[in-house]
Structure 1
Amino acid sequence: MPTRHLTTIALIAAIYAALTLALSPFSYGFIQFRISESLTVLPWITPLAIPGLFIGAIIANLFSPVGLYDVLFGSLASLIAAWLTAKMPTRWLAPLPPVLINAIIIGILLGTVSGLPVTIPAAMLYVGIGQLIVCYGFGLPFLRLIERFRDQIPGARSR
């Protein structure tokens, strides 16, 4: 793999982890606005974002109050969502996989292991709303902006 591709993967991972940790009061919990999730639209542009987001999620989830469960299941949710985002046919659908996958997986996780009196459907709803706001409110405008620089992004696909 070319150095430029490895650098792109590492940069995406570092930005995701840094944003999550810098904004940690908003990044963890039932009602979370993980601003770093706005980067989850990147696989629609370049598949190099898939491992970058996965690694970034692992690093960020090492600091999660849910602990090892979030490292395992949260990072897996990010990997699945990133892979599905790369498969989306239109820009408007690109933010949808992170919203749905995280609402389901993280909602179940938080509803199961948090110890708070909240049902799994309620936890899924809370996580889904936060994801919807971040992925569509920040991610979609970010995607529109980044598309202008597609020719400078390693591994970028033409759409």
Structure 2
Amino acid sequence: MKYKKTLFIAYAAMIAAIYVILTSIFAPFGFGEIQVRVAEALTILPAFTSAAIPGLFIGCLIGNILGGAILPDIIFGSLATLIGAVFVFLLRRKNKYVLPLAPVLSNSLIIPFILRFGYGVNLPIPFLMLSIGIGEILSCGVLGMLLYNALSKYRHTLFRF
């Protein structure tokens, strides 16, 4: 039992670290009114392990802090990733092509309000939803599904709990 708990924490920590690293490396593309956050491709990982849920949340939280985000972005942006991750976990036994919809929708609905009211971006909310949605489709839908397909081959050896 202790082994599984340790493995869970280790997986969550590794996922958080990878999220932070990807957010830092691709920071010029991951913040602003038009963004493609490459690290969001990792939101597909709850389909394999529940450890990805806290890992993604903590990784996004730290990535936003290190990226210089304002407090509402740190809180609500991280919650958007958490919501997406939880729904990916809940949908993991459904059609694999449905999985990216959860983070795409959660971020497309939450992040535009942060940009508008937190950062004062003077663009219409529907336009911001569209731009964030396109970025999320690229990161979660394209990159996330590439990651999903690559990891699916190792599902039973990598993710044993």
- TM-score norm. by structure 1 comes to 0.92
Aligned to 2:133: 128
Give the letter aligned to residue 27 of structure 2. S
Aligned to 1:41: 44
Aligned to 2:113: 108
Aligned to 2:22: 19
Segments of 5+ residues of structure 2 without an aligned counterpart are none
The offset of 1:155, in angstroms, is 4.8
2-structure distance, mates of 1:56, 1:64: 12
Give the letter aligned to residue 51 of structure 1. P
1-structure distance, mates of 2:122, 2:113: 13
Aligned to 2:152: 147
Does residue 3 (structure 1) correspond to residue 6 (structure 2)? The answer is: yes
Contact 1:20 1:60 in 2 (8 A): yes
CA RMSD of aligned residues (A): 1.3
1-structure distance, mates of 2:98, 2:160: 20
1-structure distance, mates of 2:132, 2:160: 31
**1:111–1:152 Cα change, 3 Å:** same
Contact 2:29 2:37 in 1 (8 A): yes
Give the letter aligned to residue 92 of structure 1. Y
The offset of 1:35, in angstroms, is 0.5
Contact 1:30 1:127 in 2 (8 A): yes
Question: How many correspondences in the alignment?
Answer: 156
The offset of 1:153, in angstroms, is 2.5
1-structure distance, mates of 2:156, 2:71: 39
Aligned to 1:91: 96
Contact 1:8 1:154 in 2 (8 A): no
2-structure distance, mates of 1:74, 1:63: 13
Q: Percent identity among equivalent residues?
A: 39
Aligned to 1:79: 82
Segments of 5+ residues of structure 1 without an aligned counterpart are none
Does residue 70 (structure 1) correspond to residue 73 (structure 2)? The answer is: yes
Q: Cα deviation per residue 1:10-49 (whole Å; 9 max; x = unaligned)?
A: 0000000110011100111111111001100000111111
1-structure distance, mates of 2:69, 2:52: 25
